[in-house]
Structure 1
Amino acid sequence: MSRSPGRIRLVVLLLAGLLAASFGSSAVTPTATTVGVGLTVRADQTAVGVSVGAQAVVAVTVSQQGSLLGPVQLSVTGAPVGASVAILPNPVLLGVPAVIAITTTAATPAGSYALTIVATSGTHTASVTVTLVVSLPTGFTMTLSPPSATVVDGASATYTLSINRGLLAGPIGLSLTGVPQFATATVSPSLSVLGNTATIKVSTATNVVPGAYLITVKGKSLLASATASAYLVVLPQTYDDFPVGGTPDRTLAPGSEPAAIDLALTNPFDAPMTVTGLGVSITSTSVTGCGVDNYAVDDYTGPFPLTVPAHGTRTLSQLGVPRGQWPKVRMLDLPTNQDVCKGATVQLAYTGAGNGA
């Protein structure tokens, strides 16, 4: 066997997808949870109220163990007479809330109803129960549509507010709650509505914390008031240029000590980012006949997350990670002649994953 040294250097940089976000107002969090075999179902509200002729919304998230199960379908039972149910989206996208909208009509009796939300994937099911309280209107009703809008960080969503005035003829003042921090909301034609419709636009910044936000419009006239709600689902923005770099710190020979890589992580964004995954792989060598099977990679074993400041670069050593936990490249001592690998350059690919700090 040959013990010819071979130099290792970085040739390829792979760019990892990152989301940049900052701490902000909290998104809605699950309050009702049911864990089934292989499935977990969560609803963000245990009870929701609605006036006759208006609409109630509930956000539901579904998770499943690993990737053993297939698409997850949602269904709802227990809705009152005269009410319609819409589920957006269905099948559920794992990790993205689905919104259940229950729209009542004049035929819907006032009262309390137990809505059973069932998630099904193959032979696996799980359910969660939410109480729907239907009450009589106090003068006018309002509805927001769509009941859920999904945007990527930095994008905007537009809702239409429809007002059923009944006998009310005067102005209705509008106010909004639930708009996430670092987002702005506008109402058109104005905050005092004389007609039957208004347009609400919510614009997010790239540092809005991803999650589901319950946007609520409160309408108030001289003698009556009403509310209408819809969800804003903010997804993380993916960036294409989060650089990961680094060079092994020693040359290699068969069976010699591995070369450690003090990876350098660069954050080109306006907010801190936390790196939650790092990877190194060998893609090829510069010498024909010297296969990548002559080498092996030892994975990064240090802590996560690693925080990199905005527009900054930090190496693993600068982040306090000891050399023993850096990723490493080794040249294997094989029972074959490895002379062909003399002077070979190994091409490495670096990857990373993470989100906003």
Structure 2
Amino acid sequence: MPSIPELFHSPLRIVRAGAKVLLAGLLLVTLTSGVVLAASSNGNGNQNTPKAITLQLAPTSRSVTQGTSASYNVVVQPSGGFVGNVSLTISGLPAGATASFSPAVVAVGPGSATANLDVSTTSATPLGTYSLSLKGTSGTLQSAVVVVSLTVTAGQHQPFTISGGPTGLLAPGNSVPINLQLTNPGNSSLNVTGLTVSVTGVTRNAQAVANNRPCNPSDYSVTQFSGNYPIAAPPGNSSLSSSGIPASRWPQITMLDTSLNQDGCKGATLQISYSGTGQGN
């Protein structure tokens, strides 16, 4: 039998003509001339590995208070020789929350790529723990879904304030409306309901005190707000009038007409208290 000439030195043994051997990822091909050559299956050695993309997120859980945001780091890892653009998407957000990727489309391959995920909540986002599902897509190729958690807890809400006073002087038997002022210290609108007004005290003038003329909160009556709820209170200062509510719907104070309060309540100063409920959007 004629010998096969050795074209290169390697730890691979010489294979006789007609034999095919798969060794260490190299395919030995015997040519008709009896020369043995070594060839790899492809440039990356991935003959049996399909193209794929994998997502990794850190951290896997975050906790935020209402009205704040949480950030996650997203790593997109290719395999099987994948090279291309990957679009990132998310589902499972709580009501009122929004999410944004930066960038939303990442260029992947041959190495990995990263993106930032920001999830923003509002002061009205429901409390609880939520499972957020993320995936990457490139054409018909999709990554496995990765789930991270977001816990929303109650924040420290600043109280809104109600103020105001009668728009004119009170006289026995006369009613005067109150244009309530609403001050919202937050950065989102409030839905205000349940407005109430009450007279809690009266300070008589010096002459009424000297003459022992009485004047009490019972000498006044209050007609409560009769407009529609809720009243939208934007950040900052607003009022019933700026909200387009007619004066006929505002709260009103009436000074009763009695023989005793004619002089005692003349020039008196009223202490008025207000209450209401505001729900953030």
Instruction: Give TM-score, length-normalised by structure 2.
Output: 0.49
Rg (Cα) greater in structure: 2
Higher relative contact order, structure no. (Cα contacts within 8 Å, ≥ 6 residues apart): 1
Relative to the length of structure 1, the TM-score reads 0.41
